[in-house]
Chains A and B, each alone.
Chain A
Amino acid sequence: MIFQDILFYFFSTILIASALGVITVRNPVNSALLLVLSFVTCAGLWLLLEAEFLAITLVLVYVGAVMVLFLFVVMMLDINLDRLREGFWKWFPFGAMIALVIVVEISMVLMGKYFGYEEMPLPEPKGADYSNTKELGRLIYTEYVYAFELAAVLLLVAMIAAIALTLRHREDKKSTNPFKQVKVRKEDRIRIVTTMSAEKKE
């Protein structure tokens, strides 16, 4: 048990430090990388909670795909840091409100005994051969299938909308069509002619 506690505090310290770093570091690339670090440590915490499917999926989806694209964009943009800081006081009340909501939520978790915390007993620790991937799959595709499909359709709509909004057909673009290129045969491109000098040799 003591080893798990050490691991928990190790991951939590890194998580809190890197999460603070995300909002305080000046360079946006560094802050995106710190966000990656906090995702990874968060996955570590979830592993301690025996949620290995969620932990690995967090790394796979957020670290492996979403944050790569984030970094991609952040590195390409020429971000002016002074202009980013201009709006600080304008947005301060909004940010403070969100911070307040989070503080209330966290305190509700910490003071759980006033909110019927005892009625939710701690789940039994499962054996080593218990696969929560299978369990999660069963729940998603049977009980929560409509909610799951709805979320999937929502994501698909968002993706198509993003493509439709940004896709512009340029008239003067000079790209080639690979399907046409692949179909090209020798006869379309070259014509073999017999010249006078070649005839002489024969």
Chain B
Amino acid sequence: MENIQQQFVEILGAEWGGMMFSLASNMTFIFAIVVPLLLGVAYLTFAERKIIAYMQIRVGPNRVTFFGIPWLRGWGQPIADAVKAIMKEIIIPTNANKFLFILAPVLTIMPALAAWAVIPFSPELVLADINAGLLYILAMTSMGIYGIIIAGWASNSKYAFIGAMRSAAQVVSYELAMGFALVCVLMMSQSLNLGDIVNGQKGNSLLNWYFIPLFPMFLIYLISGVAETNRAPFDVAEGESEIVAGFHVDYSGMAFTVFFLAEYSNMILVAALTSIMFLGGWLPPIDIAPFTLIPGFIWLLLKIAFILFFFLWFRATFPRYRYDQIMRLGWKIFIPITLVWIVLLGAIMQLPESIRNAFPLNIWF
């Protein structure tokens, strides 16, 4: 790295060289995150179709082979889908607000990708190691809702508008529960920096990870994450059987695909955050030889895949929630539980040392 920086300084001079070097290295890092992420999205759709198919005793996509290799049947499907989406025409309804109609998918994918800037992949591997990382994540994910609302309004269609309204109310409600669950995490770790949160879970084994002392918060965060990404069983914003496709009913071609990409990269983001906050991020489950040899990056990926499997499993298993029940779950069950847990955790943290030591096998305080 330093050699490359030296070359930049030699060619462009001291002032511009340093600046251009940081620009170039950041751009490289961004590409190194976004390109695998989008590939991951493509193959997550494939995994979703396959896994749900096997759960329903079907085969799933098995026609498009990958470069003609016969045993990779179906593996070319996401690429074929992407090509199809790019070739299709983007239809803009006559009475739609054209500028906002085009802007909406952009506003949806922007925060979904921008939030990845602070995710630590391993102790050193992080694009922006900022102090207020958790707040940044919350701010970015809360901006994703604009794309959905604007899409619903700009389409000038009733179904799209109903979908947007449902989604807006749902996301704002579940954001509260999600935020409170994360408050518990930052009370435990005493830091907003995601790297410090992972380091706070360091210990001998997976018993030190926050999902054990904060188990109710782990569940609430996971379920709120499903609701936040408008996934089944909380997918009333799309609700195929009621309002066709909800907020993106009038979108076609690449404009629709961008919404699709945003939804799936948000899923991967929620899975990554759950692994970082509750499942120890890059830490191996047991801190002994065979596990510590595997790089932390791989552990994080495995944990993300594990959480993503839950997302797909939920979709294959549960029927869609009724809208009033979604609201009841968010406001009357999750928010009271999280509020009580925050007070409880604060009280436990203030206990004197002698009482803490009096309990054997104490993982809580």
Contacts and interface: CB of A to CB of B under 8 A. Distances in A.
B146 A60 contact: no
B243 interface: no
Interface of B: 19, 100, 130-132, 135-136, 138-139, 142-143, 145-146, 149-150, 153, 161, 164-165, 168-169, 171-172, 175, 192, 324-325, 328
Given A72-B165, A72-B168, A65 B131 contact: no
Interface string A91-104: 00000000000000
Main secondary structure on chain B at its contact with chain A? Answer: helix
B131 A60 contact: no
B149 A72 contact: yes
Contacts of A48: none
22 contacts: A3-B19, A29-B153, A33-B146, A52-B130, A52-B132, A53-B132, A53-B135, A57-B135, A57-B139, A60-B138, A63-B139, A64-B145, A65-B142, A65-B175, A68-B145, A72-B165, A75-B161, A131-B131, A133-B132, A133-B135, A178-B324, A178-B328
A44 to B, nearest CB: 12
A68 B100 CA distance: 16
Nearest to A52: B132
A36 B107 CA distance: 12
Given A33-B150, A175-B324, A56 B168 contact: no
A56 B139 contact: yes
A199 interface: no
Nearest to B165: A72
Given A72-B169, A131-B131, A175-B324, A63 B143 contact: yes
Contacts of A15: none
Contacts of A22: none
Given A63-B142, A133-B192, A178-B328, A56 B153 contact: no
B139 A178 contact: no
B154 to A, nearest CB: 9
User: Which of A53, A63, A75, A175 is packed against the most chain B CB atoms within 10 Å?
Assistant: A75
B177 to A, nearest CB: 13
Interface residues of A, number: 24
A64 B132 contact: no
B160 to A, nearest CB: 12
Given A52-B131, A71-B146, 19 more contacts: A29-B153, A52-B130, A52-B132, A56-B139, A57-B135, A59-B142, A63-B142, A65-B142, A65-B175, A68-B146, A68-B149, A68-B171, A71-B149, A71-B153, A131-B132, A133-B131, A133-B132, A133-B135, A178-B324
Interface in A166-184: 175, 178
Contact of B146 (A36, A56, A175): A36
B272 to A, nearest CB: 19
Given A52-B130, A178-B324, A68 B168 contact: yes
B139 A59 contact: yes
A52 B193 CA distance: 13
A37 to B, nearest CB: 10
Contacts of B328: 178
A3 B18 CA distance: 13
Contacts of B132: 52-53, 56, 131, 133
Given A69-B172, A178-B324, A60 B153 contact: no
A129 interface: yes
Interface in A13-70: 29, 33, 36, 52-53, 56-57, 59-60, 63-65, 68-69
A43 B165 CA distance: 27
Contacts of A59: 139, 142-143
A129 B132 CA distance: 11
Contacts of A129: 131
B19 A64 contact: no
Contact of B142 (A60, A69, A133): A60
Contacts of B192: 131, 133
A68 to B, nearest CB: 6
A43 to B, nearest CB: 8
User: Which of A52, A60, A64, A175 is packed against the most chain B CB atoms within 10 Å?
Assistant: A64
Interface string A70-100: 0110011000000000000000000000000
Given A56-B139, A60-B138, A65 B149 contact: no
B175 A64 contact: yes
B183 to A, nearest CB: 12
Given A68-B172, A131-B131, A133-B131, A178 B145 contact: no
A197 B124 CA distance: 75
A60 B149 contact: no
A100 B133 CA distance: 41
Nearest to B133: A56
B168 to A, nearest CB: 5
Contacts of B161: 75
Contacts of A63: 139, 142-143
Contacts of B149: 68, 71-72, 75
A131 B172 CA distance: 28
Contacts of A52: 130-132
